[in-house]
Amino acid sequence: MTDLVLPRYRTDETANVPLLYPDYKSTRSRSPGKPLVLLPHQLTEVTGPLFGEDRVRPGDSDLTGAPGGEAIGQRIIVHGRVLDSDGRAVPDALLEVWQANAGGRYLHANGEWPTPLDPNFTGLGRAVTDSLGRYRFVTIKPGAYPWGNHHNAWRPAHIHFSLFGRAFTQRLVTQMYFPDDPLFAYDPIWNSIPDERARQRLVSRFDLAATEPNWALAFEFDIVLRGSDATPFEAEVDDE
């Protein structure tokens, strides 16, 4: 018997989202019907894949450039920090982002609606945080787009973010929105988050200081992953 000292990852209940949210129709047949079973954090949960520069090529953080020319739309800088809930920076962490083009069209077989594709925009970006947890993308502002959830349903403009953090417990896929979007009130995905303040954490902040004159507007979006207790606890586990 050996006691392993493991970090313990905290839960922030304000950030919880329900798996069943009937206004978002697809949740009706895809959300588990039985209650989730609590899984105590052991080694598999407090570790995780550590991806960084090995998954990123030069230029991956600039979505606006293609061999054929520049993407059409409002050029923007999206930047921020990846932190944990203790305020600690998460360095060397991979971010994967994807988004619609300026007209609200995804480069995807299921994304078809009467608005054009942009041959110079794939909508895929990757970046790695620096030693202070900072990241930065250059892209174009995505457009809103219609979807089939209900009559005249439109998604607010957003950018998808996927992060691993440093542990299986920290894995996060989310969406970043833009300030003052008139579609928030009508979007069941946005409104599925019960806590209004938690919803606001998904809204980027217009950042005049980070804009580049005569070139690009800027938005700041910090992403906060689960933090771990600063004082590790003694776990009673058998070592085979």
Question: Active-site residue numbers?
Answer: 106, 145, 155, 158, 160
Say how far apart CA 74 and CA 97 lie, in whole Å. 18
Under DSSP, the state recorded for 108 is: S
How many residues sit in the footprint of other proteins (CB under 8 A)? 91
Smaller CB separation from other proteins, 49 or 59: 49
Q: At 127, which amino acid appears?
A: A
Considering only residues 22, 31, 53, 132, which one is a binding residue for other proteins as defined by CB under 8 A?
A: 31
The number of C-alpha atoms within 13 Å of 204 and in the hemisphere containing its C-beta is 27
Displacement of CA 11 from its chain's centroid (Å): 18
Displacement of CA 3 from its chain's centroid (Å): 35
Say what the alpha-carbon torsion angle 65, 70, 73, 77 is, to the nearest 10 degrees. 30
* Binding of other proteins by 45 (CB under 8 A): yes
- Taking the complex as a whole, the smallest distance from the CB of residue 77 to other proteins amounts, in Å, to 19
Considering only residues 153, 172, 210, 217, which one is a binding residue for other proteins as defined by CB under 8 A?
A: 172
Looking at 66-74, 129-137, 193-201, 204-212, which segment touches other proteins (CB under 8 A)? 193-201
Considering only residues 198, 210, 216, 217, which one is a binding residue for other proteins as defined by CB under 8 A?
A: 198
* Binding of other proteins by 39 (CB under 8 A): yes
Strand 233-235 relative to strand 4-6, pairing = antiparallel
Structure-block tokens of residue 73: 């739309």
* Binding of other proteins by 185 (CB under 8 A): no
* Binding of other proteins by 191 (CB under 8 A): no
Smaller CB separation from other proteins, 212 or 229: 229
